[in-house]
Amino acid sequence: MNICLYCYALLEKPLTWSNWLTIEANSVLCETCAAKLKIISGKRCEVCSRAWNGAICSDCQQWRQLGENIEGNYSIYYYNETMRDLITQWKFRGDYVLREVFRKDLQRAFEKQFASITPSIAAVPIPLSKNRMQERGFNQSLALAEMLDIPVKHALGRNSGEKQAKKNRKSRLKRGNPFFITEALQQPALIVDDIYTTGTTVRQAAQQLKLHGCPAVYSLTVARS
Ligand SMILES: [Zn+2]
Ligand SMILES: [Zn+2]
């Protein structure tokens, strides 16, 4: 396809020495849109990938006190306005093909951060409840997991409850764990998802996986809000 997947501008790609790197990095967006997606750079929290000037951020220190259950999260982009619009268009308007925007960077981040840790790692999508799945038609987490060159394990199910987005962090923490195990994994798991916000979702999923024998849980997310 020869149009930008986000703004539909025609892609003109004259290949020159000055632009071939950028074009290779993101060949489904026009240069203007690609430039608006900012890769997280500089120092970040070792656990959750938040831009942070120290080893471990204050949130992750709190998680440690509660009993940390993830090995770490790696996020690729900042959750800025363009990223928010892009994810909204992708997920809520069902513009499935937009996942192509993330393919290369997702694969690259996996190679860099996780490929060497363990060869037996499996991707675990965060499930949607049945109602949500019917509403939306696809699961963004699975859509991302499928783009990695590792097995995808549907190890978790999800009870339908109230919409997460409407709850604040405190009430989300108070609520029970929405996930349950459908397949116990005896290998390390990589949870793949679009956004890491409070880190609650990934830790609830990790709790279920670990209770059923999973030795280590990592997470790879497109954006860190
Ligand atoms: Zn564009
Ligand atoms: Zn952190």
**Domain that residue 70 falls in:** 38-224
On whether both 32 and 51 belong to a single domain, the answer is no
Residue appearing with tokens 């790692």:
121
Tokens of 109: 């981040």
| 122-125/156-158 β-pairing | unpaired
| Cβ-based neighbours of 81, under 8 Å, separated by 6 or more | none
User: Separation of 21 CA from ligand 1 center, angstroms?
Assistant: 17
On whether both 136 and 73 belong to a single domain, the answer is yes
On whether both 22 and 81 belong to a single domain, the answer is no
> Residue 27's pLDDT is what?
74
Q: Find the ligand nearest to 55 CA.
A: 2
On whether both 32 and 54 belong to a single domain, the answer is no
| Cβ-based neighbours of 159, under 8 Å, separated by 6 or more | 129, 178, 179, 180
On whether both 46 and 67 belong to a single domain, the answer is yes
> Residue 12's pLDDT is what?
73
On whether both 112 and 20 belong to a single domain, the answer is no
Q: Find the ligand nearest to 6 CA.
A: 1
What is the chain's mean pLDDT, rounded? 88
Q: What is the pLDDT of residues 36-74, one digit of tens each?
A: 999 999 999 999 999 999 999 999 999 999 999 999 999
Q: Provide the domain count of the chain.
A: 2
Alpha helices by DSSP H, listed for 26-148, are 31-36, 58-66, 81-91, 100-113, 130-136, 140-145
On whether both 217 and 175 belong to a single domain, the answer is yes
